[in-house]
Amino acid sequence: MWNLEKLYKKLYESTAFLRWKMDWEKIVEQIPTAIEKVRKDYVLNNMIIKDDIFGILEKHCTVVYYPIEDEINCGFHTKRFVKDKLEDFVYINTAKSVAEQVFVAAHELGHVWGVAAQVWELAGEQGILESQIEERIINRFAAELLMPAKEFRKTFWVHMEKLGLDSNKLRLVDMIRVMVLQMNDYMVPYESVRRRAIETKIITQKIGDVLLKNEETILPLVNAFSKDQNTMLDRVTAKKTIPGLRDLLETVEKSGELSIYTINRIKRDFDIDNINGTDDIVEISIEGGKHEEN
């Protein structure tokens, strides 16, 4: 299960974190190496991924998108045997904002790719990788994947310049304004931007703690500035789907492997409408004839 705010608090209050605190920087140093490897292995050319993360995730596991209004968790990853083969499944709660969905997709992708174990090995750690440390590594991986340090710092200063702001006389309200612009740049939640600003040394840990302490006052500002933009950050998709589910149901229906009752129930649960198409033939005419590969 995954919930950004509660997970952060749990990690920082845990004895496991305190035990590994001295080694954390050594572990963090290996995360860019792991990201470089997965970018190369999975051909991730775009530095700023945003909601493209969903397509990437769908290529490497089965993703279930479904809204559960009263669920605090944004999503989770699990493994299940399918025809004697262990497969990855990720659930994303589409009752959450798009920004939260994006971050959880990147987080769960880290689990699918086994990033924590890779980082642990690169750091030369020999002990057991405890679940709380694993979650923290995966969170940092998701942050660095979605908000690469070089790009994150660059966009911050671009926004500062465009707004005519002075870093030596920066008001809290203006800092929040810039952070919301970065939320939009990378399609991530406010808390992710706050933490990334500390990690990339745009602000100090002390300032980051002040922002966290004053969250009750700051979040209404975040919401107000978000509304001023043409953004999808706060949008709740409430999507109900498993990519490819319609085609799969049509195949199963033709084969008779499932009863009509079961098929109709799945269609109802995922809001799948029946399509009454036509068998008319459509002729395709492309100037120059058929496409020929070079």
Residues 260 and 191 grouped into a single domain:
no
- Mean pLDDT (the chain) is 87
Alpha carbons 61 and 244: distance in angstroms, whole number:
12
pLDDT of res. 14: 56
Q: Residue 286: inside a domain, yes or no?
A: no
pTM equals 0.84
Residues 253 and 218 grouped into a single domain:
no
* Inter-CA distances, 199 with 74, 100, 204, 205, 227, Å: 23, 19, 9, 9, 27
Residue 194 clears pLDDT 70, i.e. is over it: yes
Residues 128 and 54 grouped into a single domain:
yes
Per-residue confidence band for 9, with pLDDT thresholds at 50, 70 and 90: low
Q: Which range marks the domain in which residue 269 is found?
A: 244-276
pLDDT of res. 25: 85
Per-residue confidence band for 6, with pLDDT thresholds at 50, 70 and 90: low
pLDDT in tens, 104-126: 999 999 999 999 999 998 888 87
Residues 110 and 215 grouped into a single domain:
yes
**Weakest-pLDDT range from 36-50, 71-85, 150-164, 202-216:** 36-50
Residues 202 and 270 grouped into a single domain:
no
**Considering its fold, how many domains does the chain have in total?**
2
Q: What percent of the chain has pLDDT over 70?
A: 89
pLDDT of res. 99: 95
* Inter-CA distances, 280 with 254, 277, 283, 285, Å: 21, 9, 10, 16
Token pair in block for residue 168: 């030596």
pLDDT of res. 280: 82
pLDDT of res. 182: 96
Per-residue confidence band for 5, with pLDDT thresholds at 50, 70 and 90: low
Token pair in block for residue 199: 């990690």
pLDDT of res. 101: 96
**Weakest-pLDDT range from 7-21, 138-152, 199-213:** 7-21
Residues 142 and 216 grouped into a single domain:
yes
**Weakest-pLDDT range from 72-76, 97-101, 128-132:** 128-132
Residues 78 and 146 grouped into a single domain:
yes
pLDDT in tens, 52-92: 999 999 999 999 999 999 888 999 999 999 888 999 999 99
Residues 174 and 267 grouped into a single domain:
no
Q: Residue 282: inside a domain, yes or no?
A: no
CA angle 219/155/157 to nearest 5° reads: 90
Residues 270 and 174 grouped into a single domain:
no
Residues 36 and 124 grouped into a single domain:
yes
Token pair in block for residue 77: 């990853």
Per-residue confidence band for 253, with pLDDT thresholds at 50, 70 and 90: confident
